Amino acid sequence: MSGDIGFMIICSALVLLMTPALAFFYGGFVPRKNAISTMMMSIYCMGIATIMWVLFGFALAFGGNTPGGIIGGQEFFFLNGVQGFGNMDGVLGTDGLLFAMFQMMFGIITTAIISGSVVGKMRFKALAIFIPIWLVLVYYPLAHMAWGGGLFAFLGAIDFAGGNVVHISSGVTGLVLCLLLGKRKSKIEHRPHNIPFILLGAALLLFGWFGFNAGSAVAANDVAVHAFATTAISSACALFSWIMIDWFVGKKPTLVGAATGMVVGLVAITPGAAFVPLWASMIIGLLVSPVCYFAIAVLKKKFGYDDTLDAFGCHGVGGIYGGIMTGLFCTKELNPEGHDGLIFGDATTFIAQIESIGITLVFAVVGTLIAAGIVRLFTKLRASEREEKIGLDITDHGETAYPAFNGLD
């Protein structure tokens, strides 16, 4: 038990590291004038998501079932009754408070991912109001449905570490928000202002993701080891295949492409990390890069939506793909909580995966529209054309990332 506790403490810290890592990853992509505002959107989530999780978020996600299996009960408000060993039988095998802290980190990173679709366009004040409403309407219900014994468990769907709960929900939310906000006014092609930041962020995301996926075993055991291995394999394969795409399409391999491939490989393996064989994780990683590349390079241009940093193209599309692949390749031989997938002769889980993805899409779209509507009662969602031109670093925060820089942005 003490070994499991030590393992889960480390994994919890690793998952928390992912949010400042995402701040660097996103911050490197934007123009200099929006570097601070972009990073601030991620860092803000570390505060508000933690406070809400302690007050009532954990209870709504992991409390007892309410009718329909959509949301939890109230017995764990303020984390009352969570402390101790084995007091949440059927949910975890380690300390209850530690499990709550581990899961808290997931809520933080999920809300931070959303900002990738709206940076440079959405006012910080609007995002600050939007996030807590969205957590209540979308994240807590999805977490309960997937991990708290709710609807997804009833359907037979599996989501080991957050394909539906984290990636699809945040990516689709980002898409809805960017459609509501519209395109950026500037006609200048925006290029990454700091590629080393992008690599630093991606590398730290990879590092933290081992806690994200392996830690979801909630013990230092064989399941955690398998999840660790599939995470490394899928990410490496996706990194490699994105480099090959860059080489074939653009004639030159890019560091930005390699970093992006690394991340989408992590997204794709997340729902099935402990359920699919090692050879399947290679297939999942190799194929997710062309799928996400197509979404970013073709679909976005065809439909004309301005997904600033491709949160939907990477997390939304990558998460949907990963959930489907989990239904194809999962096998109960690897994990007693798993099921046999379509290629192992059972279509039940594959169908359940499709159903759970559909439910996630509905919750993300409807919840986002409601949350955005509420925000509009208090403030405008969109930065003005003048604010966008000056940069949200100055207009929203009164700071600049590079005060000594005098060149063109």
CA quadruple 101, 107, 109, 111: dihedral sign: negative
Phi, psi torsion values for 406, nearest 5 degrees: -120, 5
- Of 406, 279, 387, 408, the C-alpha closest to 37 is 387
In this structure, is residue 403 part of a structural domain?
Answer: no
Please enumerate in sequence order all residues whose Cβ is within 8 A of that of 316, keeping only pairs 6 or more positions apart, or say none. Answer: 167, 168, 170, 171, 172, 174, 175
In this structure, is residue 407 part of a structural domain?
Answer: no
Please enumerate in sequence order all residues whose Cβ is within 8 A of that of 344, keeping only pairs 6 or more positions apart, or say none. Answer: 330, 331
In this structure, is residue 47 part of a structural domain?
Answer: yes
In this structure, is residue 311 part of a structural domain?
Answer: yes
CA quadruple 391, 392, 396, 401: dihedral sign: negative
For the chain, what percentages of helix, strand and coil (3-state, to nearest 5) are there? Answer: 70, 0, 30
Structural domain that includes position 233: 2-397
Give me the tens of pLDDT residue by residue for the chain, a chain 409 residues long.
778 999 999 999 999 999 999 999 999 999 999 999 999 999 999 999 999 999 999 999 998 877 778 999 888 999 988 875 444 444 445 688 999 999 999 999 999 999 999 999 999 999 999 999 999 999 999 999 999 989 999 999 999 999 999 999 999 999 999 999 999 887 666 789 999 999 999 999 999 999 999 999 999 999 999 999 999 999 999 999 999 999 999 999 999 999 999 999 999 999 999 999 999 999 999 999 999 999 999 999 999 999 999 999 999 999 999 999 999 999 999 887 888 999 999 999 999 999 999 999 999 999 999 999 999 999 999 999 999 999 999 999 999 999 876 655 5
In this structure, is residue 42 part of a structural domain?
Answer: yes
In this structure, is residue 368 part of a structural domain?
Answer: yes
Write out the two tokens for 197: 């930041």
Please state, in angstroms and rounded to a whole number, the distance separating the CA atoms of residues 163 and 207. 18
CATH number of the domain that residue 289 is part of: 1.10.3430.10
For Cα atoms 294, 295, 300, give the angle at the middle one, nearest 5 degrees: 115
In this structure, is residue 390 part of a structural domain?
Answer: yes
Query: pTM of the predicted model, to two decimals?
Result: 0.95
In this structure, is residue 110 part of a structural domain?
Answer: yes
Q: How many domains does the chain have?
A: 1
